[in-house]
Amino acid sequence: MICGAILAALLLALLFAAARALALPIPGLGGDAVSRIDLPQALPYDLPPVAGGGGAGLPLVMIDPGHGGFDYGARTPGFDEKVLTLGLALALRDRLIADGGLRVALTRTDDRFVSLEERYEAARRLGADLFLSVHADSVAGGEEAAGASIYTLSARASSAAALRFARRENASDSVNGQTLSGKSDAVSAILVDLSQRRTQERSERLAELIEREGAGILRFHPQARRSAALEVLRAPDVPSVLFESGYITNPREAARLMSASGRADFARAMSRAIRLYFARERYEAEQASARPAVASAIASSGSEP
């Protein structure tokens, strides 16, 4: 009995000591002090500025340097992925602007954190015609692994993203000019899925051009073309590609990508691929607009082609 009382007294003393140290309320004794830790508020993400002259009619390319801020990405002695990707992105931006004919925006131009959703949503809100996310690969013990890879969204992830977008937008948004307002989730998902299929075709086209125009300039991995369920590529109406520029775990490759010449090679190859992509888009648009005129002329003449 005495041992039990002593034990209860000890437990009560420990309770008081712990409550005092943590500033916690003591049940039944009227304590109401609570220790709070104020977390820093998330910084609002403002839409990035658009660079390049020529007016809003020019195609807009959104370049996304991967990682940033407290998110270093892959790290090896002397190299951080967030620094490498920003250097490549800035080099490409400068090359595109210097060559003219395009507008360019970056999801970040300094060392700050931007969430994945903010990255592709910024592209959508700005009405970007192309989204290119730049990263660097890594592998444990991969000092010999080398070569760039080009990722597009996998087909399964694309279909899942279509349904998710329809539900999230709550049938109040539009995709590729198709209004989702007033439509059920099922109908909205179908419209988004159709849009995303067209977008995926364009994404694959850009990936093909990057591989082709980069040949002899960039070093590619033996399996250069890949697809995956990558969150940053999920915009249903902006053709999107993620470019793994090389292996940061390979010191020689990382040093080359961080060098002025390596950045210039990246910018030259990528700029050529992007310009060819838009040239083909313009050609196909002109062909499509010409077909009704040709059909009308044939119908009015009463002759068959």
Tens of pLDDT, residue by residue over 192-240, are 566 667 888 999 999 999 999 999 999 999 999 998 888 888 888 899 9
Cα 240 → chain centroid: 8
Q: Is the pLDDT of residue 37 over 80?
A: no
Q: What pLDDT is stored for residue 105 in this prediction?
A: 97
Dihedral over Cα of 182, 184, 187, 192: its sign: positive
Q: Report the number of secondary-structure helices (H) and strands (E) in the chain.
A: 7, 10
- In this predicted structure, the answer to whether residue 90 has a pLDDT above a threshold of 90 is yes
Per-residue pLDDT band for 63 (boundaries 50, 70, 90) equals very high
pLDDT of residue 257: 97
Q: Answer whether residue 20 shows pLDDT above 80.
A: no
Residues near 4 by beta carbon (within 8 Å), at least 6 away in sequence: none
* Closest of 85, 136, 134 to residue 247, by C-alpha: 136
Among 214, 267, 246, smallest CA distance to 104 is for: 267
CB 205 within 8 A of CB 277: yes
Domains and CATH numbers, the chain: 60-155+198-286 (3.40.630.40)
Q: Nearest-CA neighbor of 64 among 232, 264, 302, 270?
A: 232
230: CB partners within 8 A, 6+ apart: 151, 153, 157, 242
Convert the pLDDT of each residue in 134-150 to its tens digit: 999 998 877 889 999 99
pLDDT beyond 80 at 297:
no
How many whole angstroms separate alpha carbon 270 and alpha carbon 281?
17
**What is the b/e burial string over 30-67, where b = at least 16 CB atoms within 10 angstroms of the residue's CB?**
eeeeeeeeeeeeeeebeebebebeeeeebbbbbbbbbb
Q: Tell whether pTM > 0.95.
A: no
Per-residue pLDDT tens digits for 252-273: 999 999 999 999 999 999 999 9
19 pLDDT above the threshold of 80: no
